[in-house]
Structure 1
Amino acid sequence: MNTPSHYILNLAVLGTLSPGFNGAITLGAIAPDFPIFAFYLVVRAIEKRPKETIWSEAYYEPFWQNCVAIGHSVPLAVLGLLACLYCGWQPGTLFFGSAILHSCLDFPVHNDDAHRHFFPISDYRFISPVSYWDPRHYGKIAASIEFLLVLATVPIVFNLLESPISKGILGAIALLYLWGYTRFYLPIPSPAKSSQTPQNPPS
């Protein structure tokens, strides 16, 4: 699932249940993908690797796979959640709860880019038949559902936000999703392009 979707959906769910902790929920929603952002920054901006190899080769190098696994580890997030509950620290509890929700939303929509959600206990990957982006694995249907969920929850999140800046960012994300969906999924591909598969980051 796309990172902005995690932000919007997590805030709609957890922000409604626990108002007043938007910052912790937001950080928990996007933190699991921080290693992926760092990976792209390093291999593209610093190492200047070709675009064609970033997601097909570099991303699967053991070092980066371990970094991504740590970010998406449910056992580690549960440990953090339990520690925060024990200490009575609600912002931390919601941060780790949001991180766990992130992984739960990712779990059913990753195919060959599946994460190791049970790291370090296990290296098991659930290879879902559904991909959130790959048209070879129902990506168009999954993207449609994600798009509709995001649009449906934007009004909820809008009411939870207080600052004009955060509301403006939310509106920009909604417009970006609208543009992206119509750009990549609505047009009917020509025969010459139908065999090409977009290279999306496995967030």
Structure 2
Amino acid sequence: MNTPAHLIFGLTAFAKPGQAKITAAALAGALIPDLSLYLMAGWHLQVLGTSPDVVFGRLYFSDAWQSIFRIDNSMILWGMGLAYGLMFRAPVVIALCGAAMLHLGLDFLFHHDDGRAHFWPLTNWIFQSPVSYWDPRHFGNMIGPLEVAASLLCCAVLWRRFEGVGMRVLIVVLGLTEFAPFIIFAIMFAGN
């Protein structure tokens, strides 16, 4: 799924009004599984000038990049963290690891040929979901709009839950970030 959707869902599930540490942990947990991709792709695209075809067609699937993704996308590792948080009743740890587990669960369900090894270190197996959040050959034309709709619904819930200006600005930015590509792609592919 798109990272803004993960952030929106993580905040909806785990953020708490008036509890900045828990809310920040939910935001961080929703982001961390994608962070290495942003850092590595950003470095290659912006600093090294590597073409997007190489970054997303070759490097993304390389052993080097996948070895990093195995760690930050491991349901085993995040699950252990969540179990620790639950065992010791640590709300910040629960929000961090819970949001990460939510992210990974959604990725597991909605990545067809670009998934990750979610069960590392037990196995390097990568599940190929029959559906994709983006690829129209695997129902992306249906899942994508559902993702946007669910994200906007969650933004409405967050808007009602949080009254602070900073949080409301974040909610609007995340909602626009999630919705804008949907509109752009709809315009680009309207004739297809």
Q: Fold-level match, TM-score > 0.5?
A: yes
* Structure 2 match to 1:3: 3
More moved, 146-155 vs 157-166: 157-166
* Structure 2 match to 1:28: 29
* Structure 2 match to 1:200: none
CA drift at 1:186: 5.5
Q: Name stretches of at least 5 consecutive residues in structure 1 with no aligned partner.
A: 195-203
CA separation in 2, counterparts of 1:109 and 1:185? 20
Please show how residues 102-113 of structure 1 align to structure 2 within 5 Å: 102-113=103-114
CA drift at 1:89: 2.4
CA separation in 1, counterparts of 2:136 and 2:83? 39
CA separation in 1, counterparts of 2:11 and 2:172? 15
SS of alignment partner, residue 57 of structure 2: coil
Q: Note if 1:127 corresponds to 2:128.
A: yes
CA drift at 1:79: 1.5
Residues 49-68 of structure 1: CA deviation (Å, up to 9, x unaligned): 11221100111121111111
Residues 2-32 of structure 1: CA deviation (Å, up to 9, x unaligned): 111011112212236x973211111111111
TM-score, normalized by length of structure 2?
A: 0.89
CA separation in 2, counterparts of 1:163 and 1:138? 38
Equivalences, count: 190
Q: Is the Cα–Cα contact under 8 Å of residues 15 and 160 in structure 1 kept in the other structure?
A: no
* Structure 1 match to 2:14: 14
SS of alignment partner, residue 60 of structure 2: helix
CA drift at 1:145: 0.6
Q: Is the Cα–Cα contact under 8 Å of residues 74 and 119 in structure 2 kept in the other structure?
A: yes
CA separation in 1, counterparts of 2:13 and 2:87? 23
CA drift at 1:41: 1.9
Letter in 2 for 1:57: R
Residues 150-180 of structure 1: CA deviation (Å, up to 9, x unaligned): 1111111123334312311221222333332
Q: Name stretches of at least 5 consecutive residues in structure 2 with no aligned partner.
A: none
* Structure 2 match to 1:197: none
In the superposition, relative to structure 1, how do residues 101 and 178 fare at CA in structure 2: closer, same or farther (>3 Å)?
closer
Q: Is the Cα–Cα contact under 8 Å of residues 154 and 170 in structure 1 kept in the other structure?
A: yes
Please show how residues 108-187 of structure 1 align to structure 2 within 5 Å: 108-185=109-186
CA drift at 1:111: 0.8
CA separation in 1, counterparts of 2:32 and 2:110? 18
Could you tell me the percent identity over the aligned residues?
Answer: 27
SS of alignment partner, residue 15 of structure 2: helix
